[in-house]
């Protein structure tokens, strides 16, 4: 495992594969707005960014749990609330979402070096497709695989292997970058190198470093040593 603040081996790759939420894109404020719209509709207090941001990479149910707190586990309409949140989010999917600082420069550099890049996210396709289409910087993705493209999602390695196949690159020549433990678990199982996006929706730097990715990057600019 290497830390971007210490000497790191210089390894180059034929393809970079990225998680979406919390890695390429800061989507938390759109997800938080959808959550707060649900909370208001159900006479619950809205929550601030420090509550919803840590849950932003973990799906609708994690967001609802963050919003409803201790009430959530016994709530009789979890499925209905999940669908309400997804509908609200789909209707305003790219109002505030944007690339993290440094991502646009990294993607341009990859393309200039003829290094392929793609996206593998657990976000369902009906949300992934319009979101990626709305973000100009992401239109060069050579493969986009969603959480429901296959019958399984991360931490299974199969979606990552499928992405590598779409890119035409051997898994061992791919680097996967993500901001959740399941991303690192999936990459290891797929026989890919991995990097933790410490700028994303991680629980804490200490926890994220404990996932034992090959690299721990504080900024997308840290990736420039590997292209």
Residues 6 or more apart whose Cβ sits within 8 Å of residue 74: none
* CA atoms in the 13 A half-sphere facing the CB of 125: 10
* CA atoms in the 13 A half-sphere facing the CB of 136: 2
**29 an active-site residue?**
no
Helix residue ranges, H only, 135-174: 158-167
Q: Which strands make up the sheet holding 174-178, listed edge to edge?
A: 2-3, 215-217, 193-197, 174-178, 15-18, 116-120, 144-145
Per the residue annotation, which of 3, 19, 179, 222 is the catalytic one? Answer: 19
Cα torsion for 198, 115, 190, 145, to the nearest 10°? 80
Is there a contact between 67 and 52 (Cβ–Cβ < 8 Å)?
A: yes
Is there a contact between 120 and 18 (Cβ–Cβ < 8 Å)?
A: yes
Task: Enumerate the active-site residues.
Answer: 19
């Amino acid at each position: 495992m290497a830390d971007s603040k210490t000497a790191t081996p210089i390894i180059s790759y034929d393809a970079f594969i990225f998680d979406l939420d919390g890695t390429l894109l800061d989507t938390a404020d759109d997800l938080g707005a959808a959550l707060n719209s649900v909370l208001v509709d159900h006479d619950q207090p809205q929550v601030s960014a420090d509550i919803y941001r840590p849950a932003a990479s973990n799906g609708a149910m994690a967001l609802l749990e963050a919003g409803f707190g201790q009430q959530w586990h016994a709530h009789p309409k979890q499925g209905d609330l999940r669908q309400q949140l997804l509908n609200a989010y789909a209707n305003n999917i790219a109002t505030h979402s944007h690339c993290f600082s440094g991502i646009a420069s990294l993607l341009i550099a990859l393309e200039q070096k003829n290094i392929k890049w793609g996206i593998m996210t657990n976000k369902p396709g009906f949300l992934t497709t319009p979101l990626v289409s709305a973000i100009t910087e992401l239109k060069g993705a050579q493969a986009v695989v969603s959480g429901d493209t296959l019958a399984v999602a991360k931490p299974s390695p199969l979606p990552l292997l499928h992405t590598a196949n779409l890119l035409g690159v051997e898994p061992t020549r791919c680097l996967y970058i993500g901001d959740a433990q399941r991303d690192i678990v999936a990459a290891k199982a797929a026989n890919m190198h991995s990097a933790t996006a410490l700028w994303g929706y991680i629980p804490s730097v200490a926890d994220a470093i404990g996932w034992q990715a090959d690299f721990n990057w504080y900024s997308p600019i840290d990736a420039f040593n590997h292209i």
